[in-house]
Structure 1
Amino acid sequence: MFDFNDIALFVQVVRCGSFSEAGRRLGIPPNTVSRRIRELEDQIGARLMQRSTRKLTLTDAGREFHERCATSIDDLQQASQDLARGRKVPSGLLRVASTANFLDFYTPEMVAGFLQTYPEIRFEFLLEDAVADLIADRIDVAFRGGSGDGSGYIAHRLPIAPIGLFASPDYLNRHGSPQTLAELARHHCLTVPRQSGHAMWRLQGLDDVEEQVEIAGPFAASTTRALHSAAIAGLGIALLPGTITVADITAGRLVPVLPQYKRRDQSMCVVYPSHRQVSPAAKAFVASVMRKFENEALLLDG
């Protein structure tokens, strides 16, 4: 009969990368950790780890065993915490993945307000424009563009404001405001880097018919956050998600340009790992973010 505590210990060792770090976190001497892992290997009849003075490396058997056990151990630990606390109050560590500019939209002040309501929740944000691996990175909930489709994921579409054109009042005072989409070709437009130096913007007008214009400009960047900051600084006209521009419009830092043109085919989803039950903490946080999305969409539509 396997000791599930030893299996949980094995998962912790893999995540920590060493016996000593796993022992430190669990309050167990490293030699005890090493002995229990050896006993687990004896029970299984296979070597799970290659040991050296510098690091631990999983064997093929160890990698397969970890992949099959880790999520079950997480679920058992979560279930134990739920039962121990009666689990009406959302609590625990919540790992959230999203784009680099997520906290420009859902601000640290909003996080602080959320934590006042749910003081037993702790956050870890993984913010980068590259798509995170929910399983490998142990993500509880992710916000990402597109449909969110993927093996092992559950996705729900969020109500978001469309992408539109924005510039600073300073830029428009210096260069004028374009009156047609074609005039954008003569303006400084802020884009992602391209080898050709030119980019094509495709936008829908009020009749939902797509039009396109070739644009260029003196500044390009690979993240939405950088383009957003460049637009505020007066470097040019940027194509930005409406959800991150509401506060700037209110404060006078940005002005809509050609507001009749939008990119309406964009979408955002909230994504969960399908193997894991959605925790009360994740549900509460997603509900808060969705209220923010809905409010911003209503403001921009108004």
Structure 2
Amino acid sequence: MHSSISGSNGKMFDLNDIALFVQVVRCGSFAEAARHAGMPPNTVSRRIQQLEARLGTRLLQRSTRKLSLTPAGQDFHERCAGGIDGLIEAGQALMLGSREPSGRVRVAAPADIFDFFPMEWITYFLQAYPRVQLEFVLSDARADLIAEQIDIAFRGGPLPDSGYVGRQLVRTLGDNLVASPAYLAEHGVPATLADLGQYDCLAPAQPGGRARWRLHGPQGAEEVQVSGRFKANTAQALRKAAVAGLGIALLPHMMVLPDIQAERLVTVLPQYQQMSHGLSVLYPSRRHLPAAVSAFIDFVVERLGEVSGDVAGR
């Protein structure tokens, strides 16, 4: 049975072909989409070509290695994916007699996300929604939401104009200077920002060996050049180095808050902060989010909101 709609130009569009196009994008290949749909790959390819002919534009660029969306295809996918998901979800809800969130939620996140997003929260969520499965893709590289079939991506820093939907989870917060009590007991406590040049400071590797920190303090924005004998390219490695007494680090407050509470770290020059851009979540579709995706986003907003509220109140 085929369902079709008529466009303003009188051409008929088969909803099954549109749904098949969305499946091809998510699978990344005709062969994988064909496997999911239970039809030959050449049939999938032919039906997508027919859809492109009806639309009068190319939606996909074909190559020997992978498929990629054209700008028109990107726009068409963004407009259609949510609607197709909504139709599927509505059908599932009728069949199951329930609107309970279900299905797989694929999440892209920084490699160290579970250092500030406790695994106990995941346990609580999965217990609350027993028909949902979570898949985390952990990497410090920015995921391609379409190519990697990502439902949700966590992003730190400013959000680029990517065409995706962005929602701030944690408001802009300040990164703090921290060090271990043992390091400060041995080397003393810096009295001014300029004093940092005389201390071992923990920062990512930079050409020339020195890093430049720009912080906001009582006199506004100030800069200081720092260096140290230990460098690393992840915040978590720098945190561990600071706890081990290797020097002073500039790190997100949310990351070091448990260490401060446990007195493994103390704040240095607390009147200075480096403003960060918080944490946001991205997702591809503008409307009709699957219930499972929407439930997880709401859950994360609630939990991180509680944490950031604690931070703001400190």
Same-fold status (TM-score > 0.5): yes
Structure 2 residue 170 is matched with structure 1 residue 162: no
- Matches of residues 125-274 of structure 1 in structure 2 within 5 Å? 125-157=136-168, 158-205=170-217, 207=218, 209-264=220-275, 266-273=277-284
Q: Which runs of 5+ in 2 are unaligned?
A: 1-11
Deviations 1:278-297 (A, max 9, x none): 34333332333333333333
> Percent sequence identity over matched residues?
40
The code of the aligned residue for 2:92 comes to A
- SS across alignment from 2:40: helix
C-alpha distance in 2 between matches for 1:201 and 1:56: 43
Per the alignment, do residues 82 and 250 of structure 1 end up closer, same or farther by CA in structure 2, a change over 3 Å counting? farther
Per the alignment, do residues 233 and 10 of structure 1 end up closer, same or farther by CA in structure 2, a change over 3 Å counting? same
CA contact (8 A) 1:11 1:66 kept: no
CA contact (8 A) 2:154 2:281 kept: yes
Decide which moves more: 2-11 or 281-290. Answer: 2-11
Deviations 1:32-79 (A, max 9, x none): 51352365378569898979xxx6765x9x968965665535641443
Decide which moves more: 111-120 or 158-167. Answer: 158-167
Per the alignment, do residues 50 and 254 of structure 1 end up closer, same or farther by CA in structure 2, a change over 3 Å counting? closer
Per the alignment, do residues 17 and 120 of structure 1 end up closer, same or farther by CA in structure 2, a change over 3 Å counting? same
C-alpha distance in 1 between matches for 2:282 and 2:52: 38
Partner of 2:302: 291
Q: Which runs of 5+ in 1 are unaligned?
A: none
Structure 2 residue corresponding to 1:121, chosen from 117, 123, 132? 132
The code of the aligned residue for 1:215 comes to V
CA contact (8 A) 1:149 1:155 kept: no
Per the alignment, do residues 43 and 298 of structure 1 end up closer, same or farther by CA in structure 2, a change over 3 Å counting? closer
TM-score by length of 1: 0.78
**Corresponding pairs, count:** 291
TM-score by length of 2: 0.76
Structure 2 residue 111 is matched with structure 1 residue 100: yes
Structure 2 residue 91 is matched with structure 1 residue 79: no
- SS across alignment from 1:245: helix
* Deviation for aligned residue 1:130: 2.9
* Deviation for aligned residue 1:184: 1.3
C-alpha distance in 2 between matches for 1:42 and 1:136: 20
